[in-house]
Amino acid sequence: MLSDRDVWDITRSIRQDKQLAATPIIMLTARVEDSDKIVGLELGADDYVTKPFNPREVVARVRALLRRRKLEQVEKSDSLEVGLLRLDLSARTLMLNAELIEVTPTEFNLLKIFMESPGHTFSRENLLEKALGYGYEGFGRTLDTHIRNLRKKIEPDPKKPTYIQTVYSIGYRLVER
């Protein structure tokens, strides 16, 4: 219940503005009728919360909405970025601080796996399956060789890696720096 405009007008304005159209909207309102909720959602609100409300629930809804938006952006994106690394998925190229870095197909696949889930620790077996295919029957040391080669290409000091870190007795993870 705003003094000069109502929430319907504001929602319409946001959705019609090309620069603001993708802005997530959660309506927090005293309007509790089903018809009001339907109108709000049809006008472009992403969620609708009525008063009285639990602040923790609103925070959880905001986080869920932002999480979905982030996933949508990753799916739509033709590139992945972590720190100074930029992986172009369609051109299959890697840029480090705007400099082109040559990588093998396996190194590219490993970086893609890492960059899709920065901070996540992958087991050696999981990385082998994802990067080299489910039918891969080679040895785990093959993975170590690819990781070592990647570190030589992207780390300032490959002996003290800051991007691709070893998680002892488990596997590897990519860390944002």
Domains of the chain: 7-76 (3.40.50.2300), 79-174 (1.10.10.10)
Percentage of the chain lying above the pLDDT 70 cut:
92
Q: Using CA atoms, how far apart are residues 80 and 77, in angstroms rounded to an integer? A: 7
pLDDT for 109 beyond 70: yes
Whole-number mean pLDDT of the chain? 88
pLDDT tens sequence across 24-60: 999 998 889 999 999 999 999 999 999 999 999 999 9
Of residues 137 and 122, more confidently modeled:
122
3-state secondary structure of 155: coil
Note the pLDDT of residue 17: 86
The answer on pLDDT for 173 being more than 90 is yes
Task: Check residue 139 and give its pLDDT.
Answer: 60
Query: Cα 63–64–70 angle (5° rounding)?
Result: 85
Residue 1 pLDDT class (50, 70, 90 cuts) = low
58 burial type by CB count under 10 A (0-12 exposed, 13-18 middle, 19+ buried): middle
Three-state SS for 8? helix
pLDDT at 171: 92
Query: What are 135's two structure tokens?
Result: 């039918």
CB 161 within 8 A of CB 151: yes
State the residue for tokens 């219940």. Answer: 1
Nearest to 49 by CA among 65, 61, 63: 61
Phi, psi angles (nearest 5°) of residue 96: -120, 110
CA–CA gap between residue 43 and residue 3 (Å, rounded): 20
